[in-house]
Structure 1
Amino acid sequence: MAFGIKKTELLQWKKNIEEGNISFLTHYWLDDRFPGCTTVTKVGCNNIDKLSLWGQKYGLKKEWIHHRKGYPHFDLLGDTQKEILSKEGLSAQLERFKRE
C-alpha cells in the first residue's frame, strides 16, 4: 500500500517517465514481505535501455525492472535506497518520511 504523496507528485513522476527521463518517487509503503521497510523509492523511465544502464551503475539488474501499467521502474528499499538517493543528491526525498 502506497501513501504519503500528493497526486501532483505522482502525476509529475508519470509525466517524466513518459518523456523518457529517469524519475524518482519516494513514498510510505508497507509490505509484510519487507519488515522494517516503511518507504520505497520508485525509479522509472519508459526507455528500458536507459533505465537498465542507470541501474547498472548501482548494481541493479535489468531483470529487476517492474513493468507495471506503462511505467517501468526499479523499487529501492532499505540501505540500497538510502545509498542511491544520497549518490543522486536526492536524500531529501527520503528525509521527509523520517519519523521522530
Structure 2
Amino acid sequence: MRIRWQRLANQPSACYCAACGKRFAGGKRVRHLFNDKGLDLGPLCPACFALPPEQLREQIRRYAYLIRLNRLRHPGIQDHAHHLEQAAQERSIRYPGLWGWLRQWW
C-alpha cells in the first residue's frame, strides 16, 4: 500500500474516506490510498492517516466487510471492497516521504 498526495482539480468541499467511509473536508491536496499495483483506492481522512499501520489495515478490512455486508447497489462497489481487502493484506504501507510532505504546501 502507498499513501500519496493528490492535487484535486475542482477542490470538493467533502470527500469520503477509502478506509472508513466517513465524510471529511477536502482541500487543494488530499492524501490518497494506492495499492501496490498503483490503483487509486480513494482519499484518506486525517483520522485514518494518523492510525498506526496495523490499525489502518484493520480499519480497511472492517470497511470492506461493511461494504460487502450492506451489499450496496452502487455499480462497482463489490470490486472496490475486493481491492480494499487485497490492499489490507499487502505487507507494507509506504507513507509520503519528505518531498511529498513539502509538496503539499506549494
Q: Max radius of gyration: which structure?
A: 2
Q: Larger relative CO (CA 8 A, sep 6+): 1 or 2? A: 2
What TM-score, normalized by structure 2, do the two folds share?
0.33
What TM-score, normalized by structure 1, do the two folds share?
0.35
